[in-house]
Chain A
Amino acid sequence: MNINGEFIAFFIFSVLAIGGAVFMINLTRVMHMALALAFTFFSIAGLYVLLDAPFLAVIQILIYTGAVSILMIFGIMLTKHKDEDKVAPFTVHKLLSLLGVGGFLAIVIWIIYRNPFFSTGEPQAAAFKVTDLGKAMFKTYMIPFEVTSILLLVALIGAIVLAKREEKK
Chain B
Amino acid sequence: MDFFVILGPVVLLFIVLGFVTYAIFFERKVIGWIQNRVGPNQVGPWGLLQTVADVLKLLIKEDVIPQKADVSLFKLAPIIAYTPAFAVLAVIPFTESLKFADIAVGLLYYMAVSSITTIGILLGGWASNNKYALLGGMRSAAQMISYEIPLVLSVVGVAMSAGSLNLTEIVKAQQTGVWFVLPQFLGFIVFLIAAIAELSRTPFDLPEAESELVAGYHTEYSGFRFAFFMLAEYTYIFAMASLITLLFFGGWSAPFGLTFIPPLIWFIFKFLFFVFFLFWLRATMPRIRVDQLMEFAWKVLLPLAILNIFLTALFKEIPVLSQFY
Interface of B is mostly: helix
Identify which of residues 257-310 in chain B touch chain A, using a CB-to-CB cut-off of 8 Å: none
- Please give, as numbers and ranges, the residues of chain A lying within 8 Å of B105 by CB-CB distance: 54-55, 58, 130
Q: Name A41-93 residues within 8 Å CB distance of B.
A: 42, 54-55, 58-59, 61-62, 65-67, 69-70, 73-74, 77
B112 within 8 A of A: yes
Query: Contact size class for B?
Result: 20 to 34
- Complex contact B108–A67 (CB within 8 A): no
Q: How far is the CB of B235 from chain A (nearest CB, A)?
A: 18
Q: Which residues of B contact A94 (CB under 8 A)?
A: none
| Inter-chain contact A73/B122, CB cutoff 8 Å | yes
**Cross-chain contact B73 with A32 (CB below 8 angstroms):** yes
Minimum C-beta distance from B102 to chain A (A): 11
A-B contact count (CB 8 A): 69
Interface on B for A, CB 8 Å cutoff? 70, 72-73, 76, 103-105, 108-109, 111-113, 115-116, 118-119, 122-123, 126-127, 138, 141, 145, 148, 163-165
Q: Does A130 contact B119, Cβ atoms closer than 8 Å?
A: no
A65 in contact with B115 (CB, 8 Å):
yes
Complex Cα distance A66/B70, Å?
22
From known contacts A35-B119, A70-B119, A73-B119, infer whether A54 and B73 are also in contact, taking CB-CB under 8 Å: no
Given contacts A35-B123, A69-B119, A77-B138, contact A128 B104 (CB under 8 A): yes
Chain A interface residue number, banded: 20 to 34
A55 touching B73 by the CB < 8 A rule?
Answer: no
**Distance of A40 Cα from B118 Cα, bound (Å):** 17
Contact across chains for B122 and A70 when beta carbons are under 8 A apart: yes
State the CA gap A66–B76 with chains docked (Å).
17
Chain A residues with Cβ below 8 Å from B115 are 61-62, 65-67
